Each structure stands twice: as C-alpha cells, then as structure tokens.
Structure 1
C-alpha cells in the first residue's frame, strides 16, 4: 500500500512557495552545511517549521473546502471534474505553467466559465485515476504525500498482506505517471524509490506496469531493475512482446541469451516456432477458420501452440468460444508456467471468457505452482473500490466483481446442473417450451440485466431471433408465424435452434446465479401463460396483477439478501447492479 511520507519534503516544498525565481520548478535544495553559517536559534527554527506547517495546512484546506469553491479550472478525471487553482499548479509545475499560458491551450469553456482539461489528453501515455490525481494535488498544495485510500490500494484477497498486490502497485504507478508528465521531480524521485521496493517482491506479471512507466519516464535505475527481474523470470516471450516496447524486449532477450547455458542454445525448432506464431497472428485477426486451416496443414495442434491460453489473454470472447467449439484443445492444459487457460482468463478479468471456459469443463479448483486458483488470482487483482462499491441504478455490475462471483459460485457448486430447465408440462411441446423459455429469459433480462446479458452472450442466444418487449406471448407468436417461403423442416430447425440457445442461457443462469433463477422458477410456474399484460383485463384483474408484481419485487429483494448472507462467509458483498436496475424497470412496467 502506498504510504510515503518524508518530513523533510514538507519543509523543502513549503520553502519553495516562499522563494522566488525558477527554483520552484526544481528539486528542493538541501540545507547549507553548518560551517557555512552558524545555526539559527532553536526557537527561530521552531517558528519557521511551525509557519511552514501552517502554510501547508492552509493550502491543503483549499482542496477540502466544499462550502466555498475558489477553484478557477477543472480537470476531468474518469468523467468527474476535479477543481484546481491554476496559480498553485503553475507555480509548482512548468508543465502547467506552459499549459495555462498558451492561448487556446486545449481547455474548453464550461457554463460557469472555468476552463476544463481532459486527463486522458494531458497524460496520454498512461492511466491516472481520480484517487491518484487527488494524492498528486495534495502533494503540490501541502508538500506531504499522504497514504493512498485503502479502497484503491488494497485488493479483496483476505490473505493478502497488501504490500505488493496489484492495486498497491497500480496506485503508485498512476501517481508516478502524473508526477513525471507534470514534471514534479522530487515526487518522481520519491516514487521511484518506492517502486524499487516492489520490483523484487511482486509477482513478475505485476512488474510489467512498473517497467512500462519506468521506460516512459526514462527512470534508468528503475528500468534496469525491472528488466533484470523480467529476464530472470519464467514470463513467456509472447507476453513480453505484447506488453513492452521493442527496445526493452530486445534487451530482455539479450540478457536471457547470456544467462542460458551454451548447450541449451538452439534447442527450439525454428520452423515449429514460426508455425505457432502464425496461429497466434490468425487469432489476433479473429480468424478461427484460418486457424483450422493452419492446424490441418502444419501438423501443429492447439495445445502445441497454447492457443487457448493465447486467446483467453488477448482475443475477443467470441473467438474464445469459437476456438472451444472446435473441441480439439485441452481446456485444463497447463502451460510452461503452470497456468491453465482459466488462470489466464482470471488475470484478464473478462466474464464472458471465464464462463466460456467453465462451460467447456475448465476446473476452477486447479492451482498454479504458487498454489493460487483462478478466483484467488482475480481477487488479488481487484481493488476494494471495484468490488465493494454499490453499482448505481441502470449500470452494469463491475466486471471484476462479476468474475469473482462466477468463480466463487463454481467452486462452491456441488450439485450438477439440472437436466431439465423447463416445466414438465411443456416437455413435449416445442412451441410451449419456447414460450416458457422466452418468458423465462425476458424476465431474467428485466430483473438481472448484467447476469442475463452475460449468459445470453455465452449461449449465443443474442444471435438467434430475439425480442426486447417483455410480453413473451407476443414474441413466441412471432416465432410461430408461417413464412410461405419456409418449409416445415426449416421452420422446425429455426425453432429448435432458438430453444437450444435459450435453454443454454437458462442453464447458465441456474449454474451461476441460483437465487435469481429460483425466484423466476417459482414465479413463472404459478403465472403462465400471460399474466404480465398489466394494462389488460378488468380494473380488478389489473390490480391483482400489479399486486402480484409487487410481491415478485419483494421476492427479488429477499433473494439478494440471501446472497448477501451467504457472501459474508466467503468475503463477498452482494450488491449486484441487477437489483436497482430491475426495480426501476419494475416500476415503469407497473405504471404501464
């Protein structure tokens, strides 16, 4: 966790506010030696320290005062405006002085007249989040670097000491990007020393962002340490080439060649390696058909190329699904580092990729050489802020949180997925089964939008005929409409494809979102065939339907409360986006 506070920096920085000339743009000057000047009286020194401390505190209050806003510019960070005082930023940073002094310096005009600047444009080479920028401003105003907020500097792994986990590293890296671009040399030096401590203790994957910022900021000592650490590690060449600048990649290769025993040089088959790279390039182009052709002509298998690992790390989720559909790769294959494709997907934190692998038999219990399983990997990479913060109404669940919940449920699941997902009453009737499934999925999308969307993408239900209106009887009726140009065989095939896609969607819902599914099961069994035309029927019938709908909303809340109680024992926080989003949709539907 970022926690850097050096008392001397406070005095030096505060002194720069009182000095004149250009010294404010350079690192603080050390105090004169004792032989150059007789020491000042102790009381005078204490008064100076007290005065500078008070100045620092007063300037810091400018960032905290919400009643009186005297900021004269705004910087948009992650879509939120952060107020700043241009005089202070210009006095401390040559970058901001040049920015503010330029005519039409890229700032737009807001209604209240404050110029605005986009952080993404100011720091195009790296990400700087709101919390990191706030810490940066605090340093500029007060001369003190405060500890980073826990919600952005610790992960959600209960066993992690939080000294070298990814959120702690990312927080320091973001602050270093800001300090380097905005030319605050003393803070750059401070953060470089901090990140040097991370390099040897952190996992090699987490050293990559440190290496990237060191390369961009030309911090030679930090860069050298990172390069040596990566060169000594077992990080594969593919990951290195994907993540790092070409000159850094070449330096790492040179170090590795020097460290390899002479007898091991040249063991790899260059033709075989070239064929593997060709397969990877085809995956980069999302061309699974080309991959199939290359496999048939080259004699290289998907497992030889670790193609599933590669796709799980770098390709679109649909490419991963298509690759899995070839049924020619071992979904639990471990690469040279002992990682399965699911481990790699957990590092990427893409829910659709994780679910695709799980549905094809990937084991959530498999561990790496370090004893970490997929959910542990995902937890170690997830900030507390992303996991515990309640999602606002209408927004989807955070991807990191959704990945953790999916993997947790998979690990806890000891009951096989039910063979049948529809009521026995409709088992032999394709149209009635379709009618049931359309209702089932339509309400899942209404009540639990993020989860239902994910399940439909994996099941490819979004590629078959899909109906957005809630009343499913109208949708099913469209499916049963007769097309004079469509033969009975084609029509049956079309209906069957839709049933299979929706069936898979419901299976996924049962598997990964059991409480949500149970609510829908109970409700639909009691209310078929069409209870949801709330605007139809007599006033008394409409009133009864609305009352029943209110009961369903209460059942939804109870299901989420049950999830929350279970989550307390596994460190989960059940605050899914679906509940608030669903409630808003419920209200709109009832009003209709």
Structure 2
C-alpha cells in the first residue's frame, strides 16, 4: 500500500525556527569539530543521534517509562506528553506553556497533571488521534513514521490508496498540526504531499485540501486547488456550500472570467429560474418543507429541475429528506449535471437513514457514475479501515460507515448481476460487454424462447412493467438469418463515450427486465439461473451436433421444460395465496401485480 511503504524520514532537531542563535552556533561548532575529526567523529555523531532518538521514543511507546507531566486529550483519548520536549521542539507549545494555566486547560488528572483538549488548541480544522501520535513521534525522535494503514487507506481492495479520501484526510490532519503547532519543516513536507494529491484525486476530494491550504496560508497549494476546482464539473452550489466565501468567490470569478476581447461583459446576472431554484434550496436549509410545496405551486420549477433531492441528501437533516421524498413528485433515480444519482450523493454523505429512505422509495443501487462507480464503491472509497472494522460496544455511537456499506452491499446482492461491489471502474469498463452479453442471453433465450413458449402473456407483462422496449429487437435478431450473436452492428462513427453510455443504458434496461422476473416469478428465475450456470446456451438448437449430442439436448430440454412448468405453478400458487386471481391471462395477472406494486 502506498502509505504503508513510505520510508521513515529523518529531519534535524535544529530545524525549528524558534531555537536561539546560541544553540545554532553551538550546533555549527559541533559540526565543524566533527568534520575536523574525520569520518570517525561523523560516525560517532550519527550513532549518538540515532541512540538519542530511540531513547526518546521509549517515552512514547514504553508504558513503563511514563514520566509525562501533562496530557492532551484527542478524540476522548488522553495522550501523555512532556512539556519540556514539546516546548523545545514547537514554538506554539513554547509560548503556550509560558502563559501557564488558561481557559483551555481541563481539570487535572488524579496525579495532578494538567490536561488540555486538542479541539481547544486548534483555531480551525481537526487532528485525529493517530495523526497526533505521528506528529508527536516526530517531535520526540526527529523521524517521520509511515502513515498507519488503518487510518490512511480505504476499504476498497482495488484502490491503490494514493488519492482516496482516507489518505487525503490523514495528510490534511498532519498539515493542520504542523501549521498550528509551528513546525516549519513538516509544513513543507505536507505541502508537497498534498500537491501530489491534487492532480490525482476526485474533485470532491480536493475540497478538504483546499480548505487546509486556505487556513494554513499555503499560496501555491491554494492556487493549484482553485485551478483544479474551477476547471472541473463541480457545481456552483457545492462550491459555495463547502468552501470559505473568499475561496468560493475566487473560483466562481475564475470560472466565468470573460473571454479575451469581451472584457466589458461582467458575470451573467442570475436568471429568474436560478433565483427560484435557490429559494427552494433555502427553504430546505430552513427545514421548511411546507414552504417548498408553496414555492412549487407558485412557479413552473419542479423538484427535479432544482435537483432538490440531491441538495437535501447532501446538506439537510435526514428528516427533511424523508419529508421531501414523501411528496412523491421527484425522481429518486434522477442524475444531476455531473451524472450522479441521489443515491450516489447519499453514499458520499454516509448517513444510513438517508440511504435506507432512498432505497425504500425505489433508488437503484446498480446505477453507475460516468466513471463506473456504484454507490457502494463510492462509500467504500470514503471509509477508513479503522472505521469499517471497529468493534461496537454497548453505549458507543453507531458505526455509520459500516452500516452504509452493509446496506448497499445487501441491496447489490439482491441482484447477482451487480457483481463485486469493490471492483474498480477499469474492471467495470472491461467487464461491461460480458455482463451485457450475459443479460442478452438470459433475456433472449429465457424471456423470449421459454417464457413465450410456456406462458407468453405473463412474460409480456413482466417486460411491459420493466419498460424493456428492446425485447422486440432481441426477438427480431434471433429470427433473422445470418445473425452472428453480436450485441449490435459496429458504428464506426461512435465515440468511446457514446458507446459506453449506450451500453450502460442497454444494460440497465435488461437488468430491470431480469429484476422484474425475479420479483414476480421467483421460482422460475431460480430455474433460469441454474440453466445459465449449468447448460450451454445452444440447448435450444436441438438439431445441431452429433446424434448423441442431439439426444442429450432433447432429454435436457424436456427436463428443463418440466422444471419451468413446476416452478411456474409454484409462482401462481403463491399469487393465489395472496388473494390474486388464479387465471394466467395477462389481464388478471396485471391486476394482481399492480395491486402488489401498490402494497410495496
């Protein structure tokens, strides 16, 4: 893993800017003496510094060497520190301890040691427990340790962990600590590391980097992040909501800067449509769903026009999300300008109640972003290993990250065609044709051949419910002469993006068809699944092959026909037990299915 493989770096103790001139002169004198003594003196100095570093490290890692005289509480965990070392290594702590007791000091522990809360020491940002230990280790030893895997890598096994959210957040926390506690050499180190993230990370993951750059007054890092966000497809509303006003305004101005020769034009005035959309968003911010309903009646703007569900899922209270969904006038599978569905936005937020509300209302967990990520893969890329594997004990807060992933994975497993939720976007792209071929075979050979052979009315009903207009195309293709079984004829003018979009659209249609079949003909679907696993698709071509092969295929076909009839009778019996008509006509079955849909 990228973070765990970082070599420990050794940085000089004398690099802190607050050391006195006398100390610097003394160090230079020592260095000159060592050089005069030749290599022997230099080796001795290296050995002694290494031993000093190791001895000081024992103060942190050896429980029997607890000579700390103060505690800093980080994430409710007290960390023993030695004020003399912190004051010698950090100008912040030097000035802080000189002031003595202050308002940030907590009650003393049972041994009389002063206690300080980390959140009170930081004017902005957050520094977690593991990040503080790494920072503290550097102050004591002069060596920077590799990032702990459990907090700097995500749950996705296919991720290289070189730009996922946990890796970025860990570096951001260390940047905060280095700036606030005034350790210049570490500030430079993490500026370089964060600059490396900017070009590789998703634009939404650049936001925390831009925030820390702004607060830490890193001009170069701010400029790189602003340029990346301005050129991205991140919408203006997200920029305004998630960034400091000064930074957001700079990005908006840069994004809408007049073209050369058109300098007299100013930023386009907000349209009436835009103002109405913002009013809806402000009403959502105020948790006023009644006002939202009123605004909808006063204009032609719909919830979908305003991407209101996307907005509520990202920024509003879960109760507001539930109330807006209950209005029943918005598409829960709508995509915004970036191609994200509402469930994708919920996965970024990682709030279980919001995800469950969307799934209950029909949000599709199979939908992919334009770069091939599903809601569960988004969630896994945002979740630290530590949070996912954390053991929950009575009285502790619920592990929301783990719950979100489990809920989404369970939803994905409802349809095995969804595949492994942890696979990368590259794997998804490569496997797309294979999935589509599987779906077409399943729908073509089963829905067309078997379904129309044994119960044509019911098969047509399932296809109608799933809105699978392409079924007629499948039937025509199977009947046409000279069909080679390919997905479609190749269009030489079709771009890769157009092709990917077309394949995704076609796959979603086929998935809906198969899913509807599973829902209303579960026993038949089990037979179909077994057939697809155990038998060759050419089973229907009974006249091909040798005489022995034809005999075996005929026997298997009759067995399969019998299995399908039995399964279909079971499905009808279950419908009858639920109070539906026993008739297999399309009219009576459609009434039953519509009743069941209303009950869902």
Shared fold, TM over 0.5: yes
**Residue 329 of structure 1: SS of its match in structure 2?**
coil
**Residue 101 of structure 2: SS of its match in structure 1?**
coil
1:107 matched to 2:108? The reply is no
Q: Offset at 1:131?
A: 0.1
Pair member with larger Rg: 2
Q: Offset at 1:394?
A: 3.5
Q: Offset at 1:101?
A: 1.6
Q: Offset at 1:23?
A: 8.1
Distance 2:367 2:269 in 1: 29
Q: Quick one: structure 1 residues 168 and 182, their matched pair in 2 at CA, closer, same or farther if it must change by over 3 Å?
A: same
Distance 2:267 2:215 in 1: 33
Distance 1:283 1:403 in 2: 24
2:174 maps to: 175
**Residue 201 of structure 1: SS of its match in structure 2?**
coil
The alignment's TM-score, normalised by the length of structure 1, stands at 0.65
Of 60-69 and 81-90, more deviation after overlay is shown by: 60-69
2:130 maps to: 131
Q: How many residues align?
A: 410
Whether contact under 8 Å (2:333, 2:363) holds in the other structure is: yes
Whether contact under 8 Å (1:5, 1:144) holds in the other structure is: no
2:571 maps to: none
Whether contact under 8 Å (2:392, 2:398) holds in the other structure is: yes
Q: Deviations over 1:361-406 (max 9, x none)?
A: 0000000011000000000000000001211234353001000000
Q: Offset at 1:123?
A: 1.1
The alignment's TM-score, normalised by the length of structure 2, stands at 0.64
Q: Offset at 1:103?
A: 3.1
Distance 1:88 1:5 in 2: 26
Q: Quick one: structure 1 residues 397 and 200, their matched pair in 2 at CA, closer, same or farther if it must change by over 3 Å?
A: same
2:282 maps to: 281
Q: Quick one: structure 1 residues 302 and 192, their matched pair in 2 at CA, closer, same or farther if it must change by over 3 Å?
A: same
Counterpart of 1:46 (choices 34, 43, 46) is: 43
Whether contact under 8 Å (1:154, 1:165) holds in the other structure is: yes
2:386 maps to: 385
Q: Deviations over 1:204-253 (max 9, x none)?
A: 11111111011001011111111111111111111110111111111111
Whether contact under 8 Å (1:2, 1:171) holds in the other structure is: no
Q: Offset at 1:323?
A: 0.4
4+ runs of 1 displaced by more than 6 Å? 3-8, 29-34, 36-39, 259-269
Structure 1: segments with no counterpart, 5+ residues: 416-510, 512-592
Q: Quick one: structure 1 residues 295 and 248, their matched pair in 2 at CA, closer, same or farther if it must change by over 3 Å?
A: same
1:349-360 correspondence to structure 2 within 5 Å: 349-360=350-361
Q: Deviations over 1:69-103 (max 9, x none)?
A: 10000000000100000000000111111211213
Q: Quick one: structure 1 residues 138 and 360, their matched pair in 2 at CA, closer, same or farther if it must change by over 3 Å?
A: same
2:56 maps to: 59
More relative contact order, 1 or 2 (CA 8 Å, 6+ apart): 1
Distance 1:33 1:60 in 2: 24
1:225 maps to: 224
1:430 maps to: none
2:144 maps to: 145
1:345 maps to: 346
1:436-585 correspondence to structure 2 within 5 Å: none
Q: Deviations over 1:433-469 (max 9, x none)?
A: xxxxxxxxxxxxxxxxxxxxxxxxxxxxxxxxxxxxx
Q: CA RMSD in A?
A: 3.0
Q: Offset at 1:265?
A: 9.0
1:89 matched to 2:86? The reply is yes
Whether contact under 8 Å (1:16, 1:23) holds in the other structure is: no
Q: Offset at 1:266?
A: 7.4
**Residue 65 of structure 2: SS of its match in structure 1?**
coil
Distance 1:228 1:151 in 2: 32
**Residue 144 of structure 2: SS of its match in structure 1?**
coil
Whether contact under 8 Å (2:3, 2:146) holds in the other structure is: yes
Q: Offset at 1:20?
A: 6.3
Whether contact under 8 Å (1:334, 1:340) holds in the other structure is: yes
Distance 1:129 1:30 in 2: 37
Q: Quick one: structure 1 residues 30 and 389, their matched pair in 2 at CA, closer, same or farther if it must change by over 3 Å?
A: farther
Distance 1:50 1:239 in 2: 53
Q: Offset at 1:151?
A: 0.5
1:375 maps to: 376
1:536 maps to: none
1:188-337 correspondence to structure 2 within 5 Å: 188-258=187-257, 270-337=271-338
Distance 1:210 1:277 in 2: 27
